[in-house]
Structure 1
């Protein structure tokens, strides 16, 4: 696919440019803080499917527009996905519909992980929830000094179900993973580098983007078929475990996600207050 064809595609959630074998994908919202709404989830698998098959692309730089990489799932815009299962008497049908919807979200992140063109993420500002899911699907992650990360799902009454719990075990140690997932705490760039969540930290947003571009350039200058082979071999040993984890968490959340605590968490988000969880 030529540069011109990429520029002609009217993406809503992304800005995409391709130059000298490197694609640059920038999250552009339209939600605040590049929050992940319906457009993001619809376009993500299509975009990375095209990047995967485009012979003119050899590496991908993934970043966010504005000050933040992503605030994660857009709860307001995606409320319809949760509405049926949040009903107090949710039966098999709404649970099955939720399972199908969840698997589609998972497939979007998986399209990034399965892309044969290595993906280098440049993170600045906040990277929350779904943002962490997304960068876990990248091959290399860099952060600016102001970056902050949070596996925030536990704070809103959810088990992270789109890829973090499946892929992060292969990136950081089990103890660090459990600390992040069970507390939902915020982690700064220095700590993220220390635990291996990111490869390196740059001074600011411009510097981290240049670092990602430099690595993408090094990758793109290598033999493309060999690069594909390296990704395939590296992914092979963990692909079955990731797939099994995604299927398990999708089934688990479809069965157990509906709760008073989840409703309370979502209500608290809209009311901008601290939730009161009661384990019901």
Structure 2
């Protein structure tokens, strides 16, 4: 009987020990589970923030779009030198008017008027450093005839070379001043020119071309500055000197019959053209 009681007590103690051990294991597992949960929380919070940003109800912003203007489709009112048989001034017209888009009036038409006049007439500049050769010839009736041969520059070539040489300096001025400087260069060189040895003809041409030009007074002022070697526009004379050193002269004999000055009554019509 005593043995049975002792055995029961031992079994009860073992049962109590088993229960205590089971509770201890459950507490450890619970602590581990809570610790793992705390470690995962930052990622969940971070993911939550991302979801909140993505779904905050605001409309998605579209990227700003840029549109490039296709200037090749724009047409401008321009003269057409090649179509009018003015091949020799076509490049000068493109270089000055088209490249700078100087199509404002009255400059555009006045510049083209000068180009046509220079293209249509035999204007030349006598080389002051060259020797004038006098030639004596006898005619059919044994009469002696004298003629002189000069070395001359082609005015058109001098104007073209000068403008190309200093166009970069001209562009440094505002548009209106630059355009008037360019016309002044052409006039300055024309004043040095002759038309079959006549000095009066070029001067008459200049007066006629400028009589209706609204910036006439400004051009006269610029010409005075050129004559006075003003520092701001000294590049004009430098480019003219460069032109005379670079352009070759050609012979001219005064027995050539002078042709009448060609002056067109009106300018050709402008055409809508694309700038390529």
TM-score (norm 1): 0.20
Q: Which has the greater radius of gyration?
A: 2
Bigger relative CO (Cα 8 Å, ≥ 6 apart): 2
